[in-house]
Amino acid sequence: MAQSNQKINAFFKIKVLSPEEKINWLRLARTELIGPKTFSEILQKYDNITQALEALPELVSKKHPKKSLKIPSVQDIHQELEQHHKLKADLIAFVEPEYPEILRHIADPPPIISVLGKRHLLQKPILAIVGARNASLNGKIFAEKIAKELGDYGYQIVSGLARGIDTSAHIGSLSSGTIAVLAGGIDHIYPYENKDLYYKVAEQGLIIAESPFGTIPQASFFPRRNRIISGLSLGVIVIEAAKQSGSLVTARFALEQGREVFAVPGSPMDPRSYGTNKLIREGATLIQNSDDVLSVVENIFKIQPPFQDRQKSKHSQETPLLNGKNDDRIEEILLNLLSSSPIGVDEIIRECHFSTSEIMLALLELELVGRIQRHPGGQISLKG
Amino acid sequence: MAQSNQKINAFFKIKVLSPEEKINWLRLARTELIGPKTFSEILQKYDNITQALEALPELVSKKHPKKSLKIPSVQDIHQELEQHHKLKADLIAFVEPEYPEILRHIADPPPIISVLGKRHLLQKPILAIVGARNASLNGKIFAEKIAKELGDYGYQIVSGLARGIDTSAHIGSLSSGTIAVLAGGIDHIYPYENKDLYYKVAEQGLIIAESPFGTIPQASFFPRRNRIISGLSLGVIVIEAAKQSGSLVTARFALEQGREVFAVPGSPMDPRSYGTNKLIREGATLIQNSDDVLSVVENIFKIQPPFQDRQKSKHSQETPLLNGKNDDRIEEILLNLLSSSPIGVDEIIRECHFSTSEIMLALLELELVGRIQRHPGGQISLKG
């Protein structure tokens, strides 16, 4: 046992890999059937990767005569390195100094990650913001706002480049530092509609991928990706998550990895609140603004405010929705009836005693001045 | 000490008051400067109300020569009784069997209450539903739905006849049993727009008032009224509550009285969620539907589902409301924690790892068997 620990320690010594070492490292990492867990075990069994690469094929064929390890050739790896080079991406192995320290501590850290952009962001404290792809406008506004505030306060924001909440989180933190973790290869933009955002993050922030270059993500890749999002983070903020949302998977990983879980509550009438309310019931911290996150994170992790005064984020008082200058009685009543959760126009018509045409006209006016938002199925809600 | 206890016990014996006793009881209750707390103290000092009425004026004038007690005349009281009679309302004193048992156990129970409608509703388990007057349509739909479901399940719903959530809660529970507690006199309909609802509740449900007949409510009356709403209830459900909402006052009373607090979450972008989200952060149970309420209430109070079978009711046995579940262990731990020096209930709650309701229930039982004593400011001690 002591001997094994010594080996681990020797192996885990942080160092920059030589080009040759990195090639071997990649060969092992790209070998079929060798996942992060197996890779860790191999690290513990062998003195170094070169030795492991030599010993493993024999070991496998001895124990499973019909199987053979498909280790990529040096040439294959050269090709992947060349692809990275062309994209201006790079690879960071688990033992290298640039590999994020916090990610080393999860149960199954990626042996090597592709990175594209400002790698130094990985050395700063990171918070994850995740949530529904079909987020409400309010949810997206909230995500962008809290990402910006936490970013201004010195935290890097990590998310998954997905539609909805992820997108807003990246946009909100573009200028302060945003990190996107992809499920496919570092070059594979998904969803493709986020092409522009991908390039912005690559330029102003950082893109990370565990999958080999060129990999098209399959459904099963997303949970694996999510463990990296939480693994990079001090805490995970979940904004809107329906039943069986991927964000709940990320939250579960966060708990397993000993990270904080924050959830934004929502109306039980909105299915997008199901997941976040469930998390709160199960013990996640209910948050309503960036201060709620900061007070927990700073308290628990005893992090020195990296950049700015604590006072500065106090500006984040939300402006009341219902204090409009609109004197019109119908509009006032409608605004009182509405909340951020979408509701059918027919229900509104039943509820207040105005004619349908009066109501429709008032709704149109409210829409034109940006007070309300329309949703599919004839539903409307207040706009944040 | 022993003598004083005897007096209390003698006085607290549940009995129907004779017409003459009730008149004297009302004279004392309607005396200026004698609030519920003072009334309780008087009950403990004198053998009966008639004796107190005779002794008090002298006592006051001796101690405060410039003051005099304004005790209403028998004629005044006859007039109030006549007014009640005309409205088909009645009065129930603290010691009378129809007075709700659960309300007797708050720190400052009303000495006498006016009732109009089906008084037998007071003998059933009650849950409060309160919330914003300017509620959203979603909030109102939710309130009506949960009131109906909890009502169908056998719980009476109590609220305050206010606009918004209160109104929806009463509407939802009209057919199953709804109780409205007024801030003014039993005859004073407030808000007046709820006139129709007032008459429906008076006919199908029950209206309660602590203030004398004819009283027009002032702002300060509403918190006093709210303590009755929570005091009648096993738990208080808060649906939408802005900053400084009266519903938060009711929730605070519920905590002080050892009742459960349930809160419906909402988007942080909606100011009407401020109060409920705050309650959840402070430990209230986040609820999304009636089952969330039932699972807590039935678990803690071990109430037999009054009407219907429930799948999960396998554990429930026929047990009376407040002294069925006798967890000797909690009581033992509490007795060990307590001494003859008064200590705050909140400290006890912090100290032992039981839920607030379990502790309050155990304390109630200990009080009923004369093992502990209550002091002002929510403090308790062992009884000497």
Residue of B nearest to A138 (CA): B269
Tell me phi and psi for residue A36, to 5 degrees: -55, -40
Buried b (16+ CB within 10 A) or exposed e, B222-241: bebbbbbbbbbbbbbbbbbb
Q: What is the dihedral of CA A251, A256, A260, A266, to 10 degrees?
A: 30
Task: Using an 8 Å CB-CB cutoff, list chain A residues near B288.
Answer: 268, 274, 277
Contact (CB<8Å) A142/B271: no
The closest of A244, A252, A235, A254 to A275, measured between CA atoms, is: A244
Q: Are A131 and A165 in contact (CB under 8 A)?
A: yes
Buried b (16+ CB within 10 A) or exposed e, B102-122: bbebbbbbbbbbbbbbbbebb
Task: Using an 8 Å CB-CB cutoff, list chain B residues near A337.
Answer: 136-137
> How is residue B298 written in tokens?
């039935």
Task: Using an 8 Å CB-CB cutoff, list chain B residues near A340.
Answer: 266-267, 269-270
Contact (CB<8Å) A268/B289: yes
CA distance B69 to A372: 59
Residue of A nearest to B165 (CA): A337
DSSP state of A215: P
CB-nearest to A341 from B138, B277, B281 is: B138
Contact (CB<8Å) B136/A273: no
Contact (CB<8Å) B271/A318: yes
CB-nearest to B286 from A280, A289, A339 is: A280
Distance in Å, alpha carbon of B144 to nearest chain A alpha carbon: 13
Residues whose CB is less than 8 angstroms from the CB of residue A244 and which lie 6 or more positions away in sequence, other chains included? none
Q: Which of B136, B165, B171, B238 to mutate to test the interface with A (most CBs of A within 10 A)?
A: B136
| pLDDT < 50 stretches in chain B | 1-11, 303-326
Residue of B nearest to A292 (CA): B281
Q: Which residues of B touch A (CB under 8 A)?
A: 134, 136-142, 264-274, 277, 280-281, 286-289
Residues whose CB is less than 8 angstroms from the CB of residue B38 and which lie 6 or more positions away in sequence, other chains included? none
Bridge pairing between strands A90-93 and B178-182 = unpaired
Residue of B nearest to A345 (CA): B137
pLDDT by residue for chain A (384 residues), tens only, comes to: 333 334 444 446 788 999 999 999 999 999 987 889 888 888 777 878 888 898 888 877 777 777 778 899 999 999 999 999 999 999 999 999 999 999 998 989 999 999 999 999 999 999 999 999 999 999 999 999 999 999 999 999 999 999 999 999 999 999 999 999 999 999 999 999 999 999 999 999 999 999 999 999 999 999 999 999 999 999 999 999 998 899 999 999 999 999 999 999 999 999 999 999 999 999 999 999 999 999 999 876 554 443 333 333 333 333 222 223 333 678 888 888 888 888 887 777 777 767 776 777 777 767 767 788 877 667 888 886
The closest of A49, A56, A58, A54 to A23, measured between CA atoms, is: A49
Contact (CB<8Å) A384/B266: no
Task: Using an 8 Å CB-CB cutoff, list chain A residues near B137.
Answer: 337-339, 343, 347-348, 351
Distance in Å, alpha carbon of B140 to nearest chain A alpha carbon: 9
CA distance B182 to B154: 23
Q: Which of A277, A293, A383 to mutate to test the interface with B (most CBs of B within 10 A)?
A: A277
What is the SS3 assignment for B334-369?
Answer: HHHHCCCCCEEHHHHHHHCCCCHHHHHHHHHHHHHC
Task: Using an 8 Å CB-CB cutoff, list chain A residues near B266.
Answer: 265-267, 339-341
Task: Using an 8 Å CB-CB cutoff, list chain B residues near A281.
Answer: 286
Q: Which of A168, A262, A340 to mutate to test the interface with B (most CBs of B within 10 A)?
A: A340
Buried b (16+ CB within 10 A) or exposed e, A94-103: bbbeebbebb
Contact (CB<8Å) B269/A138: yes
Task: Using an 8 Å CB-CB cutoff, list chain B residues near A266.
Answer: 265-267
- Position B379 scores a pLDDT of 76
Question: How many Cβ pairs within 8 Å bridge chains A and B?
Answer: 99
